Structure 1
Amino acid sequence: MRLFLLFSLNHRGKPQTEVNVMRPADLAREHGLSTQAVRNYERDGFLPPAERTAGGYRIYTERHAAALRAYLALVAAYGHATGGVIMASVNADWLDGALTAVDRGHAQLLRDRETLATVRRAVDHLTAQPAPEDRPAVPGPLTHRRTRPPARPHPRHPAHLGGGRHPHPHP
């Protein structure tokens, strides 16, 4: 599969000839993440399963680093949810699931572009219109006057309970 081959190449695009073993901290540091984030990404299927040492420690390779770089690039393009679906599908060898997620992501990006274009046209239309003549474009000399009477205090407000004093003064 083509996607599998992408992950078996090193970061320069050359075939991997030697296996560089990395600890979770090494992989995390290389990408500016916490080790817990790397473990979570593996748990969620965004990274291929790691081999374990006899003591149970995870062993990551360049394949994991390439998968993490791919996931982070997908997050930047599609967001965490869609990037995660794509990577989990790839790691489960489910190419149709990955491609469906890519197609849906492209459709969402197209809808987002159309929405932004509509908003841009509306803003352009509003900013191109001159201010109506019957109302000032800036506050006028009478703007400070109230158009409704001032609000009255609530009936249980201390001002209504006798002489402006609180009925239960603190000791």
Structure 2
Amino acid sequence: MGKPVTGSPQMPRMPLRTVDVARESGYSVQQVRDLERLGVIPPAARSGNGYRAYTPLHVHALRAYRGLAGAVGPVAARQTLAELRTKPIAEAAAAISAVHVRLARERDEALRAQEALGAIEAEAAAPGFERENDAMTITELAEALHVRPSALRFWEQEGLVTPERVTSLRARRYGLSAIGAARIVAALRGAGYGIPAVREIMESLRQVDGVEAAHHILRQRLDQIAMRSVALLRAGADLAAVVAPAGQ
């Protein structure tokens, strides 16, 4: 019946049937076939009777895909696995390290945004804040946020900050709510958030409680990043098994 599978004493003996791979990987038989078709795992050999014949590498690849998909999404996971199977071991290991770096960078960005929002809260609580900032021109607000007026106009076009329009020349003036929104947008943009992510957060803020809601959203984001990092860590041994043949 062939020699035992190495590295996983609980796996059935080679060659593996589709049902064996499904049981060991946690996917259904149909999912195994679909993921093979999508290139997540290399094509299985065919036995003399036409049935698929898999190896332990297929099981490792499917488990690695589960962790990668949890960390970076299914599309990026498929692309990464395809590269890992063909790259030299140094490049494959670097690709995996890049995923860890990406998650660490996202976490740092969320933490910086939290710090910026904390500073906004402290400033808003300072005596005289409302009296001194009851309205601002676009130039004044841009200077206060250390951005260009063109950035404020762009945020307006994207629906992130809505100024009050006064005078026949439609000169922009920003009231307290608009100033607060602009400060949050500036904090999130400064933390590296893209416009779609900022828009999602700002839309949520319009429905709930201001800066505290932004803190809640960022805490959720940090929890999600942590879960993605754990998924990647769990896939570590299986990723190593996928990478190892490239370096042998």
Offset at residue 35 of structure 1 (A): 2.0
**Cα distance, 1:22–1:68 mapped onto 2, change above 3 Å:** same
What residue is the counterpart of 2:103 in the other structure? 109
Structure 2's unaligned 5+ residue stretches are 132-248
Residue 73 of structure 2, aligned match among 72, 76, 79 = 79
Return the alpha-carbon distance in structure 2 between the equivalents of residues 69 and 10 of structure 1: 14
Asked if 1:49 corresponds to 2:46, the answer is: no
Structure 1's unaligned 5+ residue stretches are 1-7, 136-171
Return the alpha-carbon distance in structure 2 between the equivalents of residues 78 and 109 of structure 1: 9
Residue 91 of structure 1, aligned match among 85, 100, 106 = 85
Alpha-carbon contact 1:47-1:64 (below 8 Å) kept: yes
Return the alpha-carbon distance in structure 1 between the equivalents of residues 90 and 100 of structure 2: 15
**Cα distance, 1:79–1:99 mapped onto 2, change above 3 Å:** farther
**Cα distance, 1:43–1:96 mapped onto 2, change above 3 Å:** farther
**Cα distance, 1:93–1:101 mapped onto 2, change above 3 Å:** closer
Structure with larger Rg? 1
Please give the per-residue CA displacement for 1:87-142, whole angstroms capped at 9, x wherever unaligned. 2123335557635643543443243123201221133234445387769xxxxxxx
How does the TM-score come out when normalised to structure 1? 0.54
Aligned length: 125
Range that drifts further, 21-30 or 113-122: 21-30
Map residues 9-28 of structure 1 onto 2, 5 A cutoff.
9-11=6-8, 19-28=13-22
Return the alpha-carbon distance in structure 2 between the equivalents of residues 48 and 38 of structure 1: 11
**Cα distance, 1:46–1:96 mapped onto 2, change above 3 Å:** farther
* Amino acid paired to 1:35: V
How does the TM-score come out when normalised to structure 2? 0.40
Pick 1 or 2: higher relative contact order, CA cutoff 8 A, min separation 6: 2
Residue 61 of structure 1, aligned match among 44, 47, 55 = 55
Please give the per-residue CA displacement for 1:1-51, whole angstroms capped at 9, x wherever unaligned. xxxxxxx85237xxx9x9433322332233332222212222233223211
Q: Give me the CA root mean square deviation.
A: 3.4
